[in-house]
Amino acid sequence: MANKAKIELTETGLDKLTATIRDLGKSDTAAQKVNDTLQAAKVSVVDQCREMGLTSNAFVAPKNGGTLTAIQYDKLKTAVVKGYFTKAAIAMLQADPASLKKEEKSAPYGARTTGNRRHHQMQIGSRMKDVKNLLHTSETKAQAEKEAAKEKKKPQAKKDQEQRASEDITVVNALTNVYYLVMKKASGSIPNSWDADAVGELIEAAIAEVGGSMKASQRSTVGDTELKASLKKNVTDKGVKYTPKSK
């Protein structure tokens, strides 16, 4: 497992993040006309966050499972606010609500009113989420590329084995689903002439046959774990009880 990047919320780093987010905010207002600029701004924000050791989870509040401490999160949020919001909006957020006019919010939300202050407060969470989603998209892409590279290096024999295992699990799921349908029907108006344990053992035997038909070096990994998971999904969770005999 790779070592986690060290998080460094230095003043210099936070100031740089504020600057890159400010560029992102400017571009965001006219995204259709300056798409190239917007994309460059997104890359800058992602690069700056990576340099600081920040992942998408850093932009989640600590009480909701975020990775930063409360103090670190407040510093990060301040940097985001300074990047996205105008000086007037920041001053309004920092103002004592009692010093503002008691009026509802009104676009363009510049007037110093309690309503506009609440509007800007609500926008903070949205902006934190914007950066979080930007990082998450980048992380997902990077992980997909990493897995693709790993898959490309995998020996063909291993790929074949995994493919067989996937196909065998499909067979297991089909068998257990049939078991559910038969037992559900038998438990209704038709007399139950089926023995649950006997049917379950037939399923296990079929699975063993699938795996046993292969050479030892190529054998599928389907076994008890997959059987139990499939029985739970296709039988127990659907309301038909299955309890195999103890051996």
- Give the pLDDT confidence of 73-119 residue by residue, as tens digits: 989 888 888 888 888 888 888 877 788 778 777 667 666 778 778 88
Q: Is the model more confident about 136 or about 230?
A: 136
- Give the pLDDT confidence of 36-67 residue by residue, as tens digits: 777 788 888 888 888 888 889 999 999 998 88
Helix (H) or strand (E) holding 164: helix 156-186
Residue 190 has pLDDT above 50, yes or no: no
pLDDT at res. 189:
47
Q: Is the model more confident about 209 or about 61?
A: 61
Please tell me the pTM assigned to this model: 0.55
At which residue do the structure tokens 């936070």 appear? 14
pLDDT at res. 136:
92
- Give the pLDDT confidence of 116-158 residue by residue, as tens digits: 788 888 888 888 888 899 899 999 998 888 888 888 888 887 7
Q: What is the DSSP string of 60-126?
A: S-GGGT-SS-HHHHHHHHHHHHHHHS-HHHHHHHHS-GGGSB-----TT--S-BHHHHHHHHHHHHH
Degrees, nearest 5: CA angle 82-83-87: 50
